[in-house]
Homo-oligomer: A and B are copies of this chain.
Amino acid sequence: MKLIKRDTDYAVRALCYFANQKKRVVNSDELVKRLKMPRPYMRKILQQLGRSGMLLSVKGQAGGFILSRSLDHINLSDLINLFQGPTQLSDHLLKKKPCPELKNCRLKKKLDRIENLIVSVLKSTKISSLLK
């Protein structure tokens, strides 16, 4: 089972590329060529990073994207949340319905604690620490 999906993975690599280009505006074509990713998919990812505020987009000819903040301020959990939704260790369902005892289920509570531990590992991993 994968914890990080393709889009999150690509996003990490893209952000690292931006960081290495300093404040230069980089367009999606360049990224796609350098990182060898499928163009429309990468575009979608960049748009999401833009909407989320991690990238700043420059429209029109000669446009592209720039990092809008230091990678010190973005962590793995942020990206996972953006692309994969909130990390849930277990939803603890029964036949698609929430289990009736959910409120006071000790098992669920325990699993939630473990989940918090894992999320805190992901939160403490700044993207800047992944740079070359």
**Which residues in A have some Cβ–Cβ distance to B below 8 Å?**
1-6, 8-9, 12-13, 16, 35-38, 76, 80, 84-95, 106-107, 110-111, 114-115, 117-118, 121-122, 125, 129-130, 132
Please give, as numbers and ranges, the residues of chain B lying within 8 Å of A6 by CB-CB distance. 93
How many Å lie between the Cα of A50 and that of B26 in the bound state? Answer: 55
- Whether B37 contacts A118 by the Cβ 8 Å rule is no
- Whether A130 contacts B118 by the Cβ 8 Å rule is no
How many Å lie between the Cα of A121 and that of B5 in the bound state? Answer: 21
How many Å lie between the Cα of A15 and that of B18 in the bound state? Answer: 48
Please give, as numbers and ranges, the residues of chain B lying within 8 Å of A4 by CB-CB distance. 89-90, 111
Known contacts A80-B1, A118-B118: A16-B91 contact under CB 8 Å:
no
How many Å lie between the Cα of A84 and that of B3 in the bound state? Answer: 11
Known contacts A36-B94, A88-B2, A95-B37: A121-B114 contact under CB 8 Å:
yes
- Whether A85 contacts B1 by the Cβ 8 Å rule is yes
Residue pairs across A and B with Cβ atoms less than 8 A apart, 5 shown, are A1-B5, A3-B3, A16-B107, A37-B95, A111-B130
